Amino acid sequence: MKIKGRNAVREALVSNATFDKILASQSARDRVFQEIIDLAKSKGVKIQFVDAKVLDRECDGHQGIVAYTSDYKYCTVDDILANKKGKNHFILILDGIEDPHNFGSIIRVAECMGVDGIIMSKNRACQVTDTVAKVSAGAIEHMRIARVTNINTEIERLKKENIWVYACELGGENLDTASLDGDIAIVMGSEGKGVSSLTRKICDGVVTMQMYGKVNSLNVSVATGIVLYEVVRKRKN
């Protein structure tokens, strides 16, 4: 997998990802760039200094550095359940997210909010790509992601583990007043269709963000950030 950009490459190094090599601009010599190079050298990563035009041919937005790592290693749902970061389970389920920029942004905000892991479908959904890794700004290296054949089956499993599952959709309980304590999982739907009707039906509840403007929907990555932050805020009170 190709990782581009300074934050993404630095986080991959910090998380001990397996590197094939790093291509670095031979003209870049600022402090941040040098710190990344020094870190790579300390870990024995192969570094090739090349002309900026070589990096331009590899990809755009490289910020003077491109890394090649082994393909992203997905985990299992068991791994996520064993990765409880706080007092209670906090899991994110994605129902058909297709845009890599949205997916990358969601991974970033999920990591920032302390989510234990993300469960997503193997089919009809964006997978981890170079673009996803770039947009996540390195968060991909710290987030467990499980690909499953059927997310509804996994929701039923989480419920048997006494984890409450809530879909974020229109027509549910106001997010401001909803009780989001204990072990929970939040389901966010696709950009165009939202949470599927069957998935919504088997969830324990539905929460809805109240809108105050004339537009009645948000970008899914923005909506995910709001919902996850509200969960964290309620748990701190």
58-80 pLDDT, tens digit each: 888 899 999 988 778 899 999 99
Amino acid at 75: C
Domains by residue range for the chain, with CATH: 2-69 (3.30.1330.30), 77-236 (3.40.1280.10)
Q: Dihedral of CA 101/158/199/90: which sign?
A: negative
Statement: residue 18 has pLDDT above 90: no
Residue 232: pLDDT band with limits 50, 70, 90: very high
3-state secondary structure of 2: strand
Statement: residue 10 has pLDDT above 80: yes
Residue 234: pLDDT band with limits 50, 70, 90: confident
Span 15-40, average pLDDT: 89
Q: How many Cβ atoms from other residues are within 10 Å of residue 60's Cβ?
A: 9
Q: Which of 235 and 40 is assigned the larger pLDDT?
A: 40
Query: What backbone phi and psi angles, to 5 degrees, belong to 92?
Result: -115, 130
Mean pLDDT of all residues belonging to the chain:
91
Span 10-16, average pLDDT: 87
What is the pTM assigned to this prediction? 0.79
Helices (H) and strands (E) in the chain, counts: 9, 10
Amino acid at 41: K
